[in-house]
Amino acid sequence: MSEEELRLESICSSLRRDGFIPTPWEADPGEVHPNNTHSRDEVVYLLEGRLELTVNGKSHHLTEGDRILIPAGISHDLRVMGDGPVQFVSAIRKP
């Protein structure tokens, strides 16, 4: 396994221990995902790149290694910042 794969597995294992179901994602520069809402808490953990997450109207600028908890039922938007793609883990709390 590469160092990147080991890091991803470590993060996903930690999220699973905390009661979340992690899913790795990649997104391209300028990509936007508006008006997301989930019935359970979500954690977004940024692995690479820069993201702007707007949660309940407040903007958060995430850089590598940052994570944010989005409470259940709260609207949020995600936008890729900068010239490069991003890699992140989205993890939804187990039922």
* Domain boundary assignment for the chain: 3-93
User: What integer pLDDT is reported at residue 92 of this predicted model?
Assistant: 98
The pLDDT of residue 62: 97
d(CA 30, CA 51): 10
Tokens of 2: 């590469």
Return the CATH number of the domain spanning residue range 3-93: 2.60.120.10
pLDDT confidence of residue 1: 81
Q: Rounded to an integer, what is the distance from CA 45 to the centroid of its chain? A: 4
Could you give the C-alpha distances from 40 to 3, 62, 63, in angstroms and in order?
A: 31, 21, 24
**For residue 7, what pLDDT is reported?**
92
pLDDT tens-place string over residues 24-79:
999 999 999 999 999 999 999 999 999 999 999 999 999 999 999 999 999 999 99
